[in-house]
Amino acid sequence: MELKEKLVAVHPELDAVRAAAGEGPVYVVGGAVRDLLLGRGRADLDLVVVGNASELAAKLGAEPVEHERFATAKVTIGGHEIDLATARTEAYAEPGALPEVEPAGSIEADLGRRDFTINAMAIPMGEPSKLIDPHGGRADLDAGVLRVLHPASFIDDPTRALRAARYAARFGFELEGETAELLRAADLDTVSEDRREAGLLRLAGEEEAVRGFALAAEWGLIEPAPDGLELTARTAELIADGPWSLAEDRARMLRTMAMQPVGRESELVDARPASPSEAVELARRFDPPALVSARVRGAYWLDEYVREWRDVKLEIDGDDLVAAGVPQGPAVGAGLAEALRRKLDGEIDGREQELEIALAAARAEAGG
């Protein structure tokens, strides 16, 4: 399929953009071009306008992004998110600092500020069969190579080194020789904690996160926690589905496992609970990420907690005890707790027995 047909097939939302853009200098850029050439679908689209993006943004009913000095905007059309930006160049006053931004007079100038050749290509909206590829990105895509545009790239923005790990993991690409050398000299300490953290979280959000962390470690970008990589791999597998699944927190969880030594949850790893009730009492003091961490470190008893014991509920509640004459207050809680304990340990069964045990325990508490 030709570039133009691919573009139309993957991004039908471009119809609306084309109508609004007319003859204007509007370009599809960055990851959207790369993924199109790789034959990978994606939901979001980056567009650059040489001149000013505000007019196009207004025609599309896009919401301006307020904090940006140059017009940028976001709009969602047919479920596809479109990022609009004004073409710009960037100059870095200091390593790792945020760049000084100037308007770019051409799309080539805008492409020249970017991280890797595979991300520095553009397709003009008015001429969608044409690929603007000043840095040989297409050839690098075909060869499976990550290459920076200039030797100062990682000095300008060391977070690009983490981006390299992300793309290398995702696409199975290699670093080009000089890029590899430059990357080994990258110093993530020059960037703010927030930006470093954001980079790690994006790495952790990759399907191939484990491979990404392994590469980042191999390249000297990060220092994982003891056994961090092995534990991250086990965690990714454990939380993928089933009773341990933790879909929404996956990235945060993997990032923690890779980088953070064991914490308070080591208590769970060392514990040998003598009964289900003892297990529940201990486990419920920890949040789900801590439970996952303990489980991949060997607290296999938590499997039964997560599959069964955690969800064991009484058939009675506090109202039943109050109706039977127990005064409101701590006695109610004590009664229910005792009944749950006995139920967990298989000593009682059914509503009648629950009530009997709970009342006895509550009365003992109220009386004593």
Q: Of 11, 88, 114, 196, which lies in the binding site for ligand CTP, with binding defined by CB under 6 A?
A: 114
What's the CA gap between 50 and 282, in Å, rounded? 61
Q: Are the beta carbons of 7 and 39 closer than 8 angstroms?
A: no
Q: Of 13, 133, 157, 320, which lies in the binding site for ligand CTP, with binding defined by CB under 6 A?
A: 157
Best CA proximity match to 29, nearest among 41, 46, 15, 44: 46
What's the CA gap between 250 and 245, in Å, rounded? 9
What's the CA gap between 180 and 193, in Å, rounded? 24
Q: Which stretch binds ligand CTP (CB under 6 A): 11-19, 72-80, 158-166, 180-188?
A: 158-166
What's the CA gap between 292 and 38, in Å, rounded? 36
What's the CA gap between 333 and 330, in Å, rounded? 5
Shortest distance, position 75 Cβ to ligand CTP, whole Å: 16
Q: Of 86, 117, 159, 179, which lies in the binding site for ligand CTP, with binding defined by CB under 6 A?
A: 159
Best CA proximity match to 255, nearest among 297, 202, 188: 202
Count how many Cα atoms sit within 13 Å of the Cα of residue 315 in the half-sphere of its side chain: 11
Q: Which stretch binds ligand CTP (CB under 6 A): 96-104, 114-122, 316-324, 345-353?
A: 114-122
Phi, psi of 101 (to 5 degrees): -110, 135
The site string for ligand CTP over 5-44 (x = CB under 6 A, - otherwise) reads -------------------------xx-------------
Shortest distance, position 157 Cβ to ligand CTP, whole Å: 5
Q: Which stretch binds ligand CTP (CB under 6 A): 16-24, 154-162, 208-216, 276-284?
A: 154-162
Q: Which is nearer to ligand CTP, 134 or 318 (CB)?
A: 134
The site string for ligand CTP over 118-137 (x = CB under 6 A, - otherwise) reads -xx-----------------
Q: Which is nearer to ligand CTP, 163 or 250 (CB)?
A: 163
Q: Which stretch binds ligand CTP (CB under 6 A): 99-107, 156-164, 256-264, 285-293?
A: 156-164
DSSP assignment of 186-225 = --GGGS-HHHHHHHHHHHHTSTTHHHHHHHHHHTTS--PP
Residue numbers at the binding site for ligand CTP (CB under 6 A):
30-31, 46, 114-115, 119-120, 157, 159-160, 163
